[in-house]
Amino acid sequence: MPRHTHTVRRGENRAVAEEEITELEDQMVTYEEKALENNEYTGFKFPQILHFPVPNKVIEMEAIDENAFSSKKSAFFMKRRIGRPEPEDEEEERQYESSDDSESGTEEEKRDQQDWHFWECFYFAFRQLLFSRTWILLLQFAAANYFGDRLRTDGFNLADRIIEPGKSVLGDLVVRRALLGLRRWDAQQFLFVADNHYIFEHSLAFFPGYPEVINIFRIGIHEYMKGSLGWSFPPWVITGILSVAVNLFFFHAAGLALFMAVTMMTRNVKQALLAVSIFAYNPASIFFTSAYSESLFFALTITGFNFMLYAVRATSYSQRVIGTLSGTVIFGLSAVVRSNGLLNVIFVVWYWAAILLWEPEKAVPDCHLMIELLAGSKNDRYRREGQARLRAFERKRKQSRKVFRWTDPRFSRCSLVFITLVFIVIVSISSFGPYVFMSNSAAEEFCEATPRQKELVASVKKQIRMSPKIITIADAWEKAAWCRKPKLFGIVRQYYGEIQAKYWNVGLFGYWRIKKIPCFLMMLPAAILTVLAIKSAWVHVFETKRWNNIWVLLIRSDHVLHLAPQAIIMLCTAVFVINAEVFTRLMFSSSPLLYIFISQYIDKLTQGNTMGNRLWHYTSSPGILPFFVFRRVWEEGWKGKALYIYILGYFVLGTMAHAAWLPFT
């Protein structure tokens, strides 16, 4: 056969092989890659953000990166450097990470590059959480016992007034002395409800999730002591101790769960550790230990995030559904603890949309023609270039990707709509069921009290004098108009808004008074941080990543823009509707947004040869002091100084003010 015929055939085979590999490469192009290839500035554009993604694929990541806690992944996990100086800036740091070869070097160098275990990060986080509670207990004890009741207002304090001093040595020493500063302000309401349930109308504004947890343990301890010892402590003693013990447990659980959630959202262990340190010493820290519902609420919320984030990254359909359903139920339970738990439905809808609309992509077939062509090629240069292209193809082929079901011809839109409708019913019941049950149960207990429950009011009246204006279960049906109103949609009792307006003047512009200006000033730092955090999340998504597509944002869990709507609603509500001074504790106990924003700010300032840029800096710290106090951040100027003064000032002075009955609520 003529030689030119062989040349023509080889050329045809080469063209066919290259056409095949090019077609397969095109199938693997993702939305993120296409967005970064676009050199012109895009930013947020409407209505383009609602368009279906083209290409309709995104890169799939594990819940936590492979080797996330390894020096092979990041120099953050290096113990120390042998024979070379620390990098001076972020660029040099990246060059080190890309050039580092863990298989080379002396035995000493290899030993210093050892991987850190997951539990070591948890241990550091736990120490920060534990020592911060130690400081809180000491500060509240000093302030409460120094000031006593000298600064007490006329606020509700019935939980203390019905206590009979001298009945219990443990109660007098621990509850009425050591933990005295943890029973101020709204803590009185929660403690009273835990012991007596809802006998006053205003108590219904304090949801039963936290008091019921205390009550369940109190009854268990009481029955155990009665059965084993024949006696038990007075109920108020057990309740007072349990109120703190329960919060300490959930505070530590929330801090460790926060570490996991931030690691998944930022893909950065350093930022996660910083976030836990900030949480441990956050400006609203006193409310996570005193008898408030913040610790339980945040523990439920952040645990819900963990389940959702894991489910979004799961490859198995059953894992995705079970994980998301679990997160939905946990978010639903948060609405039994605090009213703003209803806003968590935003996250439920967000993550369910991601689960239903995105599906793991089926494996892309191998490039057989190119493999066969290179195996028989005698052209060394072409073979080397082809093998390099094949290696790049194989690396990309092994990547996990997810495909947008609505625009993929392999999926039926009708079945997707049907499945969505089924899950809407299931999710609605899971999300709102706990709140509906709680609301109806509390209302029925108050409005339709039994004679035995009404006797409790009489016993309380014998101990203290009560204003005739206070509505109790004894006369609730006659005096409380909402008791006689029909249920909303025939499903749920509505009383929360009416009670808030009646007793706390909650309503549109209801708090806009000259005398309330200090309360707005108190919330101002948290409001500024919230605005900056929302702006940062916006810039990261639309300008840095250029993900101008709502459908892509659903499945990409490594951003925090989906936390912004909830923050905006709470900020507007705090400014225009509710008591402004509660905004600080609302924001710091409702989502990881502020913790992530502050940790990213500190992370940027502590790159290179700076304290805080190696894990051993964290694990070797004394622990009794907050780790996020870096000199580098303090030297940043007024921003760094203002941040530390705000966090530590509110932590110390806010704790002492609250314990002394000053209006830090």
Q: Over the stretch 356-393, which tens digit does the pLDDT of each residue have? A: 998 888 777 777 777 777 777 777 787 788 888 888 88
| pTM recorded for the entire structure | 0.89
Quickly tell me which residue has 């209505």 as its tokens: 47
Determine phi and psi for 107, rounding to 5 degrees. Answer: -60, -35
> How many Å apart are CA 472 and CA 477, to the nearest integer?
9
Residue 277 in tokens: 């340190």
SS3 at position 359: strand
> How many Å apart are CA 367 and CA 373, to the nearest integer?
10
Assess whether pLDDT exceeds 90 at residue 167.
no
Assess whether pLDDT exceeds 80 at residue 427.
yes
Q: Which region among 94-103, 345-354, 649-658 has the lowest average model confidence (pLDDT)?
A: 94-103
* Helix or strand run (H / E) with residue 635: none
Tally Cβ neighbours within 10 Å of residue 219: 12
pLDDT, position 83: 43
pLDDT (tens digit, 9 = 90+) per residue, 94-121?
554 444 444 444 554 444 445 556 788 8
Assess whether pLDDT exceeds 80 at residue 44.
no
> How many Å apart are CA 665 and CA 508, to the nearest integer?
20
Q: How confident is the model at residue 199 (pLDDT cuts 50, 70, 90)?
A: confident
Assess whether pLDDT exceeds 90 at residue 73.
no
Q: How confident is the model at residue 335 (pLDDT cuts 50, 70, 90)?
A: very high
Q: Identify each DSSP E strand in 321-451 by its residue range.
A: 358-360, 400-404
Side-by-side strand order, sheet with 400-404 = 57-60, 400-404, 358-360
* Helix or strand run (H / E) with residue 59: strand 57-60
Higher pLDDT, 97 or 474: 474
> How many Å apart are CA 556 and CA 663, to the nearest integer?
42
Angstrom distances, CA of residue 626 to CA of 121, 142, 235, 287: 15, 20, 36, 18
Assess whether pLDDT exceeds 50 at residue 277.
yes
47 preceded by cis ω (within 30°)? yes
Q: Determine contact, residues 296/250, Cβ cutoff 8 Å.
A: yes
Q: What is the dihedral of CA 494, 495, 498, 501, to 10 degrees?
A: -120
Determine phi and psi for 48, rounding to 5 degrees. Answer: -55, -30
pLDDT (tens digit, 9 = 90+) per residue, 576-598?
998 999 999 999 999 999 999 99
Rounded mean pLDDT of 493-499?
89
Residues in the chain: 665
Q: Count Cβ neighbours within 10 Å for each residue of 622-659 and write b for 16 or more, e otherwise.
A: ebeebbbbbebbeebeeebeebbebbbebbbebbbbbb
